[in-house]
Structures are given as C-alpha cells and as structure tokens.
Amino acid sequence: MDKMFSEEGFEKTYQWAVNTIKEYSNCNLLIWQIAVMLDSRRIIGMCENPDRYDEQINSWYEMALSDKDEKIQHYAADSLFGFYLRKKNYEMAEKYLNYFSDYDPMKKVKQGQLYMKQGKKEEAFEMLEKAVFSEYTTLNLAFGIMITKALEEKDHGYARFLAEKMCTLASGFDMGKYNECAAMLNVVTAENNVEGTFQVAKQLLNNVDTICDFQESQLYKHMKFQEVENPYTEEMKKELLEGFRNAEEFAYMKEYEPWEKLLSGN
C-alpha cells in the first residue's frame, strides 16, 4: 500500500482496498489494517475531500469491532475513538471507550484526552495524573518481581542494577525519599552487606514520614487522596524497628555496633 500510495495516489489505492476487502471479507485484522492506512493518509492531507471516505472507512472499523478476538476489537475501538474525537462528536467517542478495560492505563489517557477536548480541564488533568500514578504502580510491581527472581538465582549484580532503576523510578514519579531507597533493602540483605544494610535501614527510618510525599507533589495536584493520620508514621517506624531487631535475615548485623545503636534509638 505504501508503494501504491506514492505511485498511484489515494483514489486508486482506495479502490484497490475496496476490492481486497471484498475478497477477504472475513479477515477483520486485515480490514482494520487497510482502514488505518487509508485513514492516516487522508488525515495528513494525501487525498482531496477526505470526508467523503468517512462512512466507508468507519464501516470497516465497525466490521473489525465485531470480531471475536478482543485484541482486534480493541484496535478498532481505538480507531473509532480517534475518528469521533477529531469530528468533535464526543458522545460517540466516549461510547468506544467502553471497549477498553478499566485496568488499562490507556483508557484513563483517552478519557483525559476526551475531557481536554470538551474543555473539562480539571477532570482531564485528574484523569491523566491517575494514568501516570497507575503506570508507576505497574512498573514498580514489575521491577519488584524481577528483583525477587534475580535474588532467587543469586544474581546479586543484576538485582542491584534493577533496584537502582527502581529507586530512580520512585524519584522520577515523586514518591518520596522512603520509596527512593526501599527497593535496595532486599538486595543488601541478600548480599549480607553489613554497611549497605545499615545505610539503607537508616535512610528508611529517617524518611518514614516521606512515604506519602507524592500526595503533595505537583505531579498529582489534581488527584484526591485519602488523608493519613500522623500516628501512621510512628506506627510504621515501630514496625520497621521490630523487623530489623527480630528477623533472622538480619542476624549477620548483630555484631555491628552502629546497627545496635540505630535500633536502640541512640
């Protein structure tokens, strides 16, 4: 199709597409792909009177939307959402958002995009910030799983590399000093790294009160968070200290004087 567009022009390529889709009328992925290529070319001005193709291209998207494969449905719904958004038919655009899972961050992005087009600025920013926050949660979980597996395989170097990335991620997403160092604790513990464990534990204890700093970040200023009472910080600090004192995994630290002072609060 790329060659045909450049050599034959839009109209002849369109006619070829009509004939091809008639021949392969049961291949919805192909139908969607052809429709997308024609749609994109007319959007960038490669044909005259682009609106005259609306009905046909949209009918192809609707054919793909009826496919039993959810992935093809998703592709088609995305294309239809974009079409109606460009046409400023926001009611129809929102209709096709229903094909996106509520667990799909892209649904939040597209909902934010729709709100922005509708002039609902506050709602748009809130939805887009939720998408950003959700993406951090997903990435954080993915890194955590990889670190756990690397440690199981005794690949401490790779685990440390991943933990450093995870700490940088927390910093980039304004998650507070506590979360910026928390990922390293499992690594230094697995290494039986005495000085490293001491430094990470000290940072965690000193920064417990930053664990909810993201609530004050400009990055999430339109989001509404449930307020956490101050005693939560002290309770968490007590739990950390108890874990450091009693967990068998920290047995290698018991002869280290700075560690004993840290746990005693001196």
Rounded distance between C-alpha atoms, residue 54 and residue 99, angstroms: 21
Q: What is the pLDDT of residue 193?
A: 95
Q: What is the pLDDT of residue 229?
A: 55
Q: What is the pLDDT of residue 102?
A: 87
Which residues of the chain are under the pLDDT cut of 50?
A: none
Q: What is the pLDDT of residue 43?
A: 84
The pair of three-digit structure tokens given for residue 202, joined into one six-digit string: 């000290």
Name the DSSP letter for residue 193: -
Q: What is the pLDDT of residue 228?
A: 56
Q: Which residues, at least 6 apart from 73, have a Cβ–Cβ distance to it below 8 Å?
A: 64, 65, 66, 67, 99
**Residue 47: which H helix or E strand, with range?**
none
Q: What is the pLDDT of residue 264?
A: 86
Name the DSSP letter for residue 183: T
Q: What is the pLDDT of residue 230?
A: 53
Q: Which residues, at least 6 apart from 107, have a Cβ–Cβ distance to it below 8 Å?
A: 97, 100, 101
The pair of three-digit structure tokens given for residue 159, joined into one six-digit string: 């685990």
Report residue 102: phi and psi, to 5°.
Answer: -65, -20
How many residues does this entry show for the chain? Answer: 266
Q: What is the pLDDT of residue 231?
A: 52
* Cβ–Cβ < 8 Å for 173, 161: no
75-134 pLDDT, tens digit per residue, is: 999 999 999 999 999 999 999 999 998 888 899 999 999 999 999 999 999 999 999 999
Q: What is the pLDDT of residue 261?
A: 92
The pair of three-digit structure tokens given for residue 168, joined into one six-digit string: 């940088």
